[in-house]
Structure formats: structure tokens, C-alpha cells
Chain A
Amino acid sequence: KAGVTQTPRYLIKTRGQQVTLSCSPISGHRSVSWYQQTPGQGLQFLFEYFSETQRNKGNFPGRFSGRQFSNSRSEMNVSTLELGDSALYLCASSLAYGLRTEAFFGQGTRLTVV
């Protein structure tokens, strides 16, 4: 069974640009959640999608948005990039929403904003 796939693995963007990251969950999983990891803040929850609906959102500005498609694949978008957005972005998939079942993580997308 294929794992969680995130693309791209690495990305370099300039301040002010926007970026879209992709996450393909494990087949059959309907929940996809997104996280930001930085050395200073550690792992922080961005948002969770279940059956194409955003169920929960963390404390991030509106520049961070996402969506989920009917095949459960999810995309995350960050607009007007800032230097502080440089981070490892991870997604996780699980069967049920609210992470009440085991979460499977992708390898992450490392975003560098210059």
C-alpha cells in the first residue's frame, strides 16, 4: 500500500511569491491534515480536511489556505510569502477526522523563502 506522498520535496521561493504544496493520502484515507515545523516553534497544526471540508484550523494567518479534492488529495497554498514561512511542511492522512485514528505522515516539503 503506497504511503503518503508530498510534492515537491524541496522548494525555493522569493518573498512575496505564492506557493502550492500537494499531499496524496493513503488510499481510503479521507482525512488530510497539514503541519508546519520550524526550529523555533516545533510542529504546529495548520488545518485538517475531511471529505473535501475544512474541519479545523490552527492559528495561522489567512495567507495559509488549503483545499481537498474528491479523491482526497489535498493542496496547501501560501500567498505573499515571508521569510518566516521557511519551514518543513508536513501532511498526514488518517481514516477518521480529528486524528482519532493513527496518522501517517509524508516526507514533507522543505520550503525556503529568500
Chain B
Amino acid sequence: KNEVEQSPQNLTAQEGEFITINCSYSVGISALHWLQQHPGGGIVSLFMLSSGKKKHGRLIATINIQEKHSSLHITASHPRDSAVYICAVGTQGGSEKLVFGKGTKLTVNP
């Protein structure tokens, strides 16, 4: 079982819809990162969370440390939101590193 599980793997939405991407993890973490990757490879860091909730524009990220679960929400989705969204956790302990989920491919149709 992967240390970081994302769902769904693929998501297709119509413009304007509310989107939720989920991330569950099984290890102790120092922080959780949500990343966005567009075709061509470049990765942009959207959020870094260690507790609670953060909002940036139409994007909202939440984390529940007790349940080891995080969600990324996109309100009023737009075709330019089409990308792969990746959840990554910074692990605690002797070997600190980023462990990644497999990503969620989001396609928003006009």
C-alpha cells in the first residue's frame, strides 16, 4: 500500500463545477503539499499545510491531522485548471523526504 493515496485518479468536470480531490496518508508528516503540474512538466506549489485550512483565490486546501486526510477544492472550475494535481507529504523521523501520491488528472471542459 502506498504511503500517500489520492482519489480520484482521473476527473472530468464541466466549467463552473465544484471540484474535490482527496489525499490520505499513512505516515507521520511534518507538512503536506499540494502541487499542480501542467503538460510540459513544470510543477507549481499550491499549498503547504500542517493544520487547518488555507485559501488562495478559487483554491481551498484542508487537512485533518487526526484522520490523516487532506482535500483540495476548486470552486467555479475553469478549463485553465486542467492539470495534474499531486499531493505530497514531508515525512518525519530519521529519513525526512517528500513522498508523492500518483496524482489526479483533472480535465475541465468549457
Contacts and interface: CB of A to CB of B under 8 A. Distances in A.
A101 B88 CA distance: 13
A55 B96 contact: yes
Interface in A72-114: 88, 90, 92, 97-105, 107-108, 110
A88 B43 CA distance: 11
Interface in B61-89: 86, 88
A44 B99 CA distance: 7
B98 A35 contact: yes
Chain A contact surface mostly: strand
Contact of A98 (B86, B96, B99): B96
B100 A99 contact: no
B22 interface: no
Given A98-B30, A100-B90, A45 B97 contact: yes
Chain B interface size, under 10 / 10 to 19 / 20 to 34 / 35 or more: 20 to 34
A6 to B, nearest CB: 10
Given A42-B103, A43-B88, A98-B90, A103 B98 contact: yes
Interface in B38-71: 40-45, 48
Given A97-B96, A105-B43, 18 more contacts: A33-B97, A37-B41, A42-B102, A43-B86, A48-B97, A55-B96, A56-B97, A57-B95, A58-B97, A99-B30, A99-B96, A100-B31, A100-B90, A103-B45, A103-B48, A105-B42, A105-B45, A110-B41
Interface of A: 33, 35, 37, 42-45, 48, 55-58, 88, 90, 92, 97-105, 107-108, 110
